Structure 1
Amino acid sequence: MIISLFLIGFCTCVFYLHFVYRNWRYLKFSWQVKNGFWYPILPLVGNMYVGFFSGSLNAMSLMQWLDKIKGFPFNFWYVDNYMYIIKDAKEAKIIMNHPKCVNKAVFYDRFKFVFENSIFLVPNKKWKKQRKHFVTGFKSNILKNTVYVYHNLSCQMIEDLKSVEMPKDIFRYFQRYSIRSFFVGNTGISEYLSSFEMEKVGDIVLDVQDLLYSLVVMPFLSPKLWLAIFPAGKKVTKLLEKSTEIVIYGIAQKKKLLQENQEYFGNSKDLLELCLGNGADNLDQDEIIQQVNFVASAASETTGNALVFTFVLLSIHQEIQEKVYEEVMEVVGDKDITHQDLPNLKYTEAAIYESLRLFPVAPIIGRSCEEDIDLGTKIIPKGSSCAISLLHLQRDPQYWPDPSKFDPSRFLPENQSKINPISFMPFSAGPRDCIGKPQALVMMKVTVANVVRHFKITSKHKSIDEFTLESCLTMKTKENPNCRFSARNKL
C-alpha cells in the first residue's frame, strides 16, 4: 500500500515537473490573465472537467457557464494544450486578421478523420490555393443561376408544409431542405441522386456530429482507437462508409458527363467541377469526398439551423414578421423570386442578420497562434490556441444596446455604420472567413421571403431565454422549438 502511494506520488510529481517545464510560457501568460489560473490541471484532461459545472458536456453550455459565473477572458487547458477564451472585439480583431493566426485551433484536430483534406482544416499554405480556386464558384454571376434553383426548391417545401404545418423535428426538416439545395445548386449530381439519397447524406452528416460529442469530451483518446472500439465510433465509421458510397456514385456520374462534354468542363461552375478540374492541387477521390462532405455539412447544418432560428424569432415577434411579409409582397408580390429582387429585400435581410447575431450557428471560432501575438495589453505566446465565443460577443451590451432584443433595424443600411464589424461575424472574419457566405445568404433570403409570403408562422414560445443551447461544431437548441406554419388567407 505504502509503495503504491509512493509510486503514485512520484509519478504525479514527475508529470507536473515536466508539465511546468514544457508549458512555462503559457503558465506565465495564464497568470497574467488570472481567470481560471487556479483550476487544477489534471493528467489526460487538463481542466476540461469545468464543463461538468455547466451541467452539460458541450461547448456552448461551457461558454454560457463561463460568461455567467467566471467571465472572460478565461484560461483553459485542453489536455496539455493551452487555450485563451475571449469575447472582446478588440482582441478578436487582432486575432482574426493576424497572418499568423490563420490555422485552426488544436481542438479541431478531433475532426481531422472526417475533414482533414477539406478547405475547412487544411493548413494555411494549402488553404490559400484551395480558397483561390474554389472562390470562383461563389461569384455573383453564378449566384444568379442558383436563385432559380432555390426558389423552386422552396416552392416544393412550401407544398409539403401545407400538409405538415409543424415539423416533428424542425432542425432536421430544414437541414434536409438545405442539403437538397446544396446538391442541386452546387454539385450538379442531383440528376443522378434521388431526394432520398441526398437527404440520406444530410442525415448522416447530422448523426455523425451528434456522435462526435463523445470524442470531443475524451481528448486523451485517439480518434483511431475511438473509431475502432467505442460504439459511437463504430457507428460513425459505418455512417461515413454509407455517405462515401453515395457520393462516389454521384462523382462517377459527374466524371462521365464531363468526359463526354469537354466544352462544359471548360466552363466549370459548381463545386464538384472545381474539385475535378485543374487548379485544386489535383485532388484525389478521398480529398474530393472530404471537400463534398464538409461543404454538405456546412450547407445543411449552418444554413438549416439559421433558417430555424430565423423562423422561430419571427414566430415570437409577430410585428416583425408582418414587416417582412409586407416588404416581400411589395417587392416581389406573387411572382417568382428573382436575383433582381434580392437587393430590395432589405428588411428581410436585416431580420436574417439579426437572427444570426442572436444565434450564431457556428458559435465558437478557434485559431492557432504560430508566433507571439501582441494584443496591446498582453502577448499571447506562440503555440497557444484562441477561442472566441461569438454568442457572447454578439450579445455583449458594450457593442449592442438591449442585446437580447430581436431588432432587425440594427442592420438596415442607415444603421450599419453604427456596428463594430468585428462584434458581428457569424461567417467568421479575416482572411479565413466563410467562403460560402454569399450563397448562404442568397438561399436564406429566397427561402425566408417565399415561406413568409405563404405562411403565418406562430409559436408557443415567448422569449429566446426559454431555449437551452448546445453545440459541438454548430449550435442548436436542446429542445425541439415549437413552430407552426399556417397558410395565409390571401384575397
Structure 2
Amino acid sequence: MFFYLFGFAAFLVVIHILFNYNPKARAILRIPTTSGNFIIGHALNMLLCSEVELFRLGREMAAKFQGIYGFHAFPVSIVNIYNPEDVEIITSNMKHHEKGFIYKFLQPWLQEGLLLSNGPKWQKRRKILTSAFHFNIIPKYFATMKDNDKVLIETLKKSDGQPIDIVTTISEYTLNTICETAMGTNLRAEKTKKGVAYKTAIYDLAKYIIYRFSTVYLYSDFVFNMTWLGKSQKKYLNIVHDFTTSIIEKRKEAIKANEVGTIEDNEDEYLVKKKRAAMLDLLIAKQNEGLIDDVGIQEEVDTFMFEGHDTTAVCLTYTLLLLANHPDVQKKVIEELDDIFGKDTRDATMEDLSAMKYLDLVIKESLRLYPSVPFIMRQTTQPCKLSNFEIPANTMCAIHIYDLHRNEKYFPDPEKFDPERFLPENSVGRHNYAYIPFSAGPRNCIGQKFAMMEMKSSLSSILRNFNIAPITKREDLCFNIDLVLRTTDPVHVKFIERRLD
C-alpha cells in the first residue's frame, strides 16, 4: 500500500513539475503574482470566483502590483499589464498583432471578420473597410443617426420624468442605429418574425459568449458544444446568419434596381431616405471588383453589428449616469448647446458636432473612467521584454484598460470625474498609451470616429430636450467580468423635459 501511495505521490509531483516548471511557466512565474496551488497553479482564482468576484479580483491585483502581474494555470499563461510603456510595446506595431484565445469564442459568430482575422487577410480587410470610415464617408451616415435620435427622444418623453433603465433603452437605440448604417435595414420597421428573432438572437449570443468566458470548463469546444448552451448558441447563430444573408441579397437586388444609393452617390441623394447608403454597399462594390466574396461580406456585416452597438451603448450609459450625478458638468454641456442652438429646434449638423468641444471632453473622461471594453488581449508572436521581464513567444497578454486609465501618474485623483483633464494644456506630457479607450496601434478600433459622432449626436439631442436627474449613484455600480464593462444591475436615471420658451 505504501508503495502505491508513494508511486501516486511521485506521479503527482512529476505532473506538477511538468505543468509549473516548464520554460514558459518559469518565465511567467518570475513576474510578480500571487502564490499558486499544487499542480493547478492559479486556476482556483477563476474556478471559485463569480463573475463579480473575478472583476473585483482583477482590481485588487492591479492595486497590489506595479503595472504587471502574471497568471499561470497549465496550459494557460497570461501576462497582465496596465502601464503605458508595456502597452506601447504590445500594441504599437504588428509584432504582437494576434488576438488572445478569448476571442475564439466569437469565431462561430464573426468567423474571420476584421476583429478576429490575422496576417494578410486582416491587412486586406482593414484596407477595404478603411474607406467605409473615411472622413468624407462618415457624415453620410449622419442622417440615419438623426432619425434614430428622434425616436430615442420620443421614447424618453414617454417616461414622463419617471426613473428608467437606460441600459435597455440605449442598447435598443444603438442596435437600431448600427443595423441601419451597416445593413441599410430598419429593425423597427422589420415586422417579420425574422427581424424580431434576429434582435433577440443578438442579445442572447452575447450572453452565451460572456458566460463561456467566465466558465473555465466551457473553454473546450467539445465540452461546450455538448451542453445546452452550445446547442442553443447554434440555433441563434443560424438565425443571425440567415437574417444577414437575406439582407445582403435584398441589398444587392436593390442596388441593381437602383432603389438605394451607393457609397459613391453625390451628397444630395443622402437627403432622400430611400437613397441612403449603408456600409454594406461598399462591401458589395468591393465584391464586384473581386476583392471579397459572399462569406467575407457576411463576416464583416456580423462584425459591424457586434462591435457597433454594445460598446457604444455602454459608453452612452455611463456618460448619462455621470452627467446625472454631476449637475455642474451637465450645466456646462447644456450651456454649450444653448450657445450653439439657442432656442432653435433645428436638427444638428456635422458643423454643430464639431463645435461641441466641452461635450467631447465629457465623453473622453467617461471613457477613461468606464472604458467600454475594460480589457483586450494580444498574443506575443515573438519574445519580448515587459517591465524588464523576459516574455516568451506565444504568450497571452491581457491589457487592462480599466486599470491603465487609473494610473495616478497621468491622471491625478483618478476616480474624480473631471472632463477638463483632457484640455490640451492639461494633456501635455501624458504618455500616448496612457489612454486607449479604442485600443491602440494598427489594430485600433476602425470605427472610433463613427462612434464619437453617434455619441455626440445622441447626447446633444438628449440634453437639448432634457435635464438628467440621478437615481443610480456611482457607488452603486457593481461590475461583472465581461467583454464590455457591464453592471450587474440596471442603471436608472430620470429625464425631465426642458422648456426652451
Q: Confirm or deny a common fold (TM above 0.5).
A: yes
3-state SS of paired residue (2:398) = strand
Instruction: List aligned pairs for 1:415-430, cutoff 5 A.
Output: 415-430=426-441
In the TM superposition, residue 272 of structure 1 has moved relative to its aligned partner by 1.4
Matched, 1:295 2:304: yes
In the TM superposition, residue 475 of structure 1 has moved relative to its aligned partner by 1.1
3-state SS of paired residue (1:357) = helix
Counterpart of 1:39 in structure 2 is 36
In the TM superposition, residue 136 of structure 1 has moved relative to its aligned partner by 0.3
**What amino acid is aligned across from residue 248 of structure 1 in structure 2?**
T
- RMSD of the TM alignment (CA)? 2.9
User: Quick one: structure 1 residues 12 and 209, their matched pair in 2 at CA, closer, same or farther if it must change by over 3 Å?
Assistant: farther
- Provide, for residues 355-377 of structure 1, a one-character-per-residue CA deviation record: whole Å limited to 9, x for no partner: 00000010001111110113462
Matched, 1:273 2:281: yes
Greater shift, 301-310 or 243-252, is seen at 243-252
User: Quick one: structure 1 residues 428 and 411, their matched pair in 2 at CA, closer, same or farther if it must change by over 3 Å?
Assistant: same
Matched, 1:185 2:181: yes
**What amino acid is aligned across from residue 356 of structure 1 in structure 2?**
L
Counterpart of 1:478 in structure 2 is 488
Counterpart of 1:230 in structure 2 is 227
Counterpart of 1:15 in structure 2 is 15
- Provide, for residues 83-141 of structure 1, a one-character-per-residue CA deviation record: whole Å limited to 9, x for no partner: 10011111111111132111111222232222231110101321111111101001122
User: Quick one: structure 1 residues 73 and 195, their matched pair in 2 at CA, closer, same or farther if it must change by over 3 Å?
Assistant: farther
Are the aligned partners of 1:204 and 1:243 in contact in 2 as well (CA < 8 Å)? yes
Instruction: List aligned pairs for 1:441-452, cutoff 5 A.
Output: 441-452=452-463
Are the aligned partners of 1:84 and 1:385 in contact in 2 as well (CA < 8 Å)? yes
In the TM superposition, residue 234 of structure 1 has moved relative to its aligned partner by 2.2
Instruction: List aligned pairs for 1:215-226, cutoff 5 A.
Output: 215-221=212-218, 224-226=221-223
In the TM superposition, residue 295 of structure 1 has moved relative to its aligned partner by 1.5
Counterpart of 1:365 in structure 2 is 376
User: Quick one: structure 1 residues 383 and 162, their matched pair in 2 at CA, closer, same or farther if it must change by over 3 Å?
Assistant: same
User: Quick one: structure 1 residues 262 and 159, their matched pair in 2 at CA, closer, same or farther if it must change by over 3 Å?
Assistant: closer
User: Quick one: structure 1 residues 185 and 94, their matched pair in 2 at CA, closer, same or farther if it must change by over 3 Å?
Assistant: same
Distance of 1:314 and 1:195 partners within structure 2: 35
Distance of 1:125 and 1:203 partners within structure 2: 34
In the TM superposition, residue 312 of structure 1 has moved relative to its aligned partner by 0.3
In structure 2, the gaps of 5 or more residues are 266-276
**What amino acid is aligned across from residue 448 of structure 1 in structure 2?**
L
Distance of 1:94 and 1:88 partners within structure 2: 10
In the TM superposition, residue 489 of structure 1 has moved relative to its aligned partner by 2.2
Instruction: List aligned pairs for 1:84-95, cutoff 5 A.
Output: 84-95=79-90
Counterpart of 1:28 in structure 2 is 26
- Provide, for residues 300-354 of structure 1, a one-character-per-residue CA deviation record: whole Å limited to 9, x for no partner: 1100111000000000001111110110121133321001111110001110111
Instruction: List aligned pairs for 1:69-468, cutoff 5 A.
Output: 72-77=67-72, 79-164=74-159, 165=161, 168-190=164-186, 194=190, 201-221=198-218, 224-261=221-258, 267=264, 270-278=278-286, 282-333=291-342, 334-375=345-386, 377-462=388-473, 464-468=474-478
Distance of 1:327 and 1:67 partners within structure 2: 38
**What amino acid is aligned across from residue 477 of structure 1 in structure 2?**
T
Distance of 2:3 and 2:393 partners within structure 1: 41
Are the aligned partners of 1:51 and 1:57 in contact in 2 as well (CA < 8 Å)? no
User: Quick one: structure 1 residues 257 and 67, their matched pair in 2 at CA, closer, same or farther if it must change by over 3 Å?
Assistant: same
In the TM superposition, residue 232 of structure 1 has moved relative to its aligned partner by 2.2
In the TM superposition, residue 220 of structure 1 has moved relative to its aligned partner by 4.6
Are the aligned partners of 1:137 and 1:270 in contact in 2 as well (CA < 8 Å)? no
Counterpart of 2:269 in structure 1 is none
- Provide, for residues 155-182 of structure 1, a one-character-per-residue CA deviation record: whole Å limited to 9, x for no partner: 1110111012557542122111101111
Are the aligned partners of 2:28 and 2:391 in contact in 1 as well (CA < 8 Å)? no
Distance of 1:266 and 1:315 partners within structure 2: 39
3-state SS of paired residue (2:286) = coil
Distance of 2:341 and 2:191 partners within structure 1: 29
What TM-score comes out, normalization by structure 2 length?
0.88
In structure 1, the gaps of 5 or more residues are none
Distance of 1:302 and 1:195 partners within structure 2: 26
Counterpart of 2:45 in structure 1 is 50
In the TM superposition, residue 3 of structure 1 has moved relative to its aligned partner by 8.5
Distance of 1:132 and 1:171 partners within structure 2: 34
Distance of 1:366 and 1:51 partners within structure 2: 17
Counterpart of 2:268 in structure 1 is none
**What amino acid is aligned across from residue 258 of structure 1 in structure 2?**
I
Distance of 2:424 and 2:89 partners within structure 1: 26
**What amino acid is aligned across from residue 66 of structure 1 in structure 2?**
M
Distance of 1:217 and 1:413 partners within structure 2: 40
Greater shift, 203-212 or 48-57, is seen at 48-57
Distance of 1:4 and 1:182 partners within structure 2: 64
Distance of 1:262 and 1:195 partners within structure 2: 21
**What amino acid is aligned across from residue 271 of structure 1 in structure 2?**
M
Are the aligned partners of 2:19 and 2:74 in contact in 1 as well (CA < 8 Å)? no
3-state SS of paired residue (2:348) = coil
User: Quick one: structure 1 residues 191 and 465, their matched pair in 2 at CA, closer, same or farther if it must change by over 3 Å?
Assistant: closer
User: Quick one: structure 1 residues 219 and 408, their matched pair in 2 at CA, closer, same or farther if it must change by over 3 Å?
Assistant: same
3-state SS of paired residue (1:456) = strand
User: Quick one: structure 1 residues 35 and 20, their matched pair in 2 at CA, closer, same or farther if it must change by over 3 Å?
Assistant: closer
**What amino acid is aligned across from residue 462 of structure 2 in structure 1?**
V
Greater shift, 160-169 or 218-227, is seen at 218-227
**What amino acid is aligned across from residue 60 of structure 1 in structure 2?**
F
What TM-score comes out, normalization by structure 1 length?
0.90
In the TM superposition, residue 236 of structure 1 has moved relative to its aligned partner by 1.8
Greater shift, 61-70 or 315-324, is seen at 61-70
Are the aligned partners of 1:189 and 1:251 in contact in 2 as well (CA < 8 Å)? no
- Provide, for residues 245-298 of structure 1, a one-character-per-residue CA deviation record: whole Å limited to 9, x for no partner: 222221110121233349966838632123333379754444433322222121
Are the aligned partners of 2:114 and 2:126 in contact in 1 as well (CA < 8 Å)? yes
- Provide, for residues 25-61 of structure 1, a one-character-per-residue CA deviation record: whole Å limited to 9, x for no partner: x23322431323x312645xx5232136765367533
**Equivalences, count:** 485
User: Quick one: structure 1 residues 274 and 288, their matched pair in 2 at CA, closer, same or farther if it must change by over 3 Å?
Assistant: same
